[in-house]
Amino acid sequence: MVTLENVVAKFGGTSLADAKGVRGCVDITIGKFDGRARKSVVVSAPAGITNWLIALGRHRLGEGGGQDTSREIAQRFASIIQGYGLEGQVSEDYVERLLRQRADASTSIKNHAAYKDQLHALGEEAMATIFALALRKEGLQARVLMPQDIGFYVTSTFGDARVLPESFANIGKAAKQLGANEFAAYPGYFAVTKEGKIVTFERGGSDTVGSIIANGVGADFYEKWTDQDGIGVLSPSVNGNGQSINIQRIGVMTYEEAVLLTNAGFRVLHPDSIKPAKEKSIPIAVRNSMNPSHSGTVIIDNAPPSSLATGIAYKGGFVSVSCWNPYDIELRNDVISGLRAELSKKGIRPALITSQNGESLIYDQERLNSAALNDAKRSVFARLKEERPEAAAEVNTMQLNVTYGNSLVSVVGRGMQHNRRTVDERVFEGIRQSGVEARLVGDDEISRVLLIREDPLAKEPENAKRVAVGLYKQFFPN
């Protein structure tokens, strides 16, 4: 048997969608393709399972959009168990029984958010158990390490878990208890509070769990396995509706570029998954489990640029908040900074702070609702009138400019640092060729960010997509 390397491999839902996919992931884990066995594995739920669990939770709680999907969930896992030949190690109704136990808890758990997280985590919990059994079927030693067993603690913010600092040391200590030839299978997406309550991370949080595990065990490498050959330079995909563009792939990028691009719309990695690995300078590789011979994309601390731009990302669903007062710029800025502080207290943080034509804040529309904004406005205005009574009348007349239906397009690259003129020429030519009006709202050494208005009736950020394509043709012409 090959030596187990201190590598954490995280497998996504598309990679684990069925028994064939699970077998492919097991082959990767044990080093069948490259002779490198990965000691630690973090698993997502099979593709579609979490959506079914969310629908089931809504159904059990009598909420809108609910559906009894228990049969579909149980059948999917049963087919994986049967397809891999694990019937002798676990009963085919294993998930059905677990599901019944969790789903029935709706009558005893009064906190609906707590109930949902307990139910939503079932997919990863079951998959970790099945994956460890699959490794054992190959004649290998494997252990399931659940969060509650290794001290993987998080905050009690249901649906938005945040790791507690002591978790890293706890995870490392638990890993040292493994045998030299023993694999570890960890569930992604969730951890527990110190009181033992299950709390999930944001959707896509299994990436973050993988990075936390990599940090805790001091991994030499963190691999995120998905269904793509690394990260494309333009994301999300712009193909479809008669359009087909051959998107180039990123070979190497830095942590900083990865953070900027994932926050701006890149979907291959969750933005929160970068920091834990970066803290210990652990390289991140994004690879394709269906094409394991491809090297994918590697994310490291520093690397010389191979092109002017590294990637272009776009994302819709933003709201812009500004306050225009040409007579008292200081008061205007006090309003904006006050709003930012008040909203941050509620966990609502801006996606971008701009300074063009006066400071303004840009938020994800899903995070900022009108009630929270109005509450923040009342608090800020009341404080300013108390602190500056001479400006009370002016404060009363100030209005917030709130604009919904915006998109952001970002161009990011370490090669942009010393080529400002060329970068700006290509950005503005890309905008011109797209035929869409765009406003520059972010400008620093390695990025440009554009704000774009969308058609209020459009389901997708079509204007942003057109600008992104225009920029792609300028920065990646061949």
Q: What is the pLDDT of residues 84-111, one digit of tens each?
A: 999 888 887 888 888 888 767 655 666 8
Q: Is the pTM of this model over 0.85?
A: yes
Measured distance CA(296)–CA(475) in Å, rounded: 21
pLDDT of residue 196: 95
Same domain for 283 and 366, yes or no, is no
Are both 215 and 353 inside the same structural domain?
no
Residue 19 belongs to a domain: yes
Q: Within this chain, do residues 289 and 403 fall inside the same structural domain, yes or no?
A: no
Residue 48 lies in a domain: yes
Token reading at 382: 């009341």
The last residue of one of the domains, among 301, 320, 335, is: 301
Cα–Cα distance for residue pair 426/421, rounded to 1 Å: 9
Question: Does 306 map to a domain?
Answer: no
Tens digit of pLDDT for each residue in 406-449?
A: 999 999 999 999 899 999 999 999 999 999 999 999 888 999 99
Domain range for 74 is 4-301
Residues 44 and 95 in one domain: yes
User: Is 70 exceeded by the pLDDT of residue 28?
Assistant: yes
Same domain, 186 and 272: yes
User: In 10 A of CB 332, how many CB atoms?
Assistant: 18
Tokens 């669903």 — which residue? Answer: 317
Tell me, yes or no, whether 26 and 167 share the same domain.
yes
Same domain, 202 and 351: no
pLDDT confidence of residue 195 = 95
**CB proximity list for 337: less than 8 A, separation 6 or greater:** 359
Domain count, the chain: 2
- 307 found inside a domain: no
What is the band of 456 on the pLDDT scale with cuts at 50, 70, 90? confident
406: CATH:
3.30.2130.10
